[in-house]
Amino acid sequence: MIIESSITLDGPINEIWEKLLDPACLKDCIPGCESVIIRSNGEFEGTVKVKIGPIKMRFKVVLTIVEKQPPVRLISKALGKDLFKVGRFTQKNQLVLEKLDSNKTRLSYISELNISGKIANFGERVLRAKAKEMEENYLASLSDILKHRGRKS
């Protein structure tokens, strides 16, 4: 399934680019994310908990950067395996940053997500909506962090 969206963020383009690749920021913004580390080969590895009603999943995710043109374009792919064996996903992401002014950047992404395993039986309509919800939450969290940076937490 294809999910796409865009959002205007408060921040200079370079800073936002850094945040997109910052493990601590990824951990804080990705809903259900428990940990993010960078492996020695540059891959990002983390665990993300996802819950749909009574169905609980815990994905071990490996994210690989395929192409990067700082600070405007990032192409990555991810592979997620659920530790409860309920599902699996592969994802191709294309993310574009556009400088609107010195403190405003437009982030647009298009994501191709494929879900397999038992969870896929559950229904495309629910999965699509849930995936979209998670992506929107990520962007909202990122936007919040940028708005409140500099304030003591």
The contact set with another protein (CB under 8 A) reads 1, 51-55, 86, 118-119, 121-122, 124-126, 128-130, 132-133
CB of 118 to another protein, least distance (A): 5
Nearer to another protein, 68 or 118 (CB): 118
Distances from the Cα of 126 to the Cα of 122, 140, 145, 151, angstroms = 8, 21, 28, 37
Nearer to another protein, 12 or 32 (CB): 32
CB of 38 to another protein, least distance (A): 32
Nearer to another protein, 33 or 74 (CB): 33
DSSP per-residue string spanning 68-99: EETTTEEEEEEEEEETTSS-EEEEEEEEEEEE
The answer to whether the CB of 114 falls within 8 A of the CB of 91 is yes
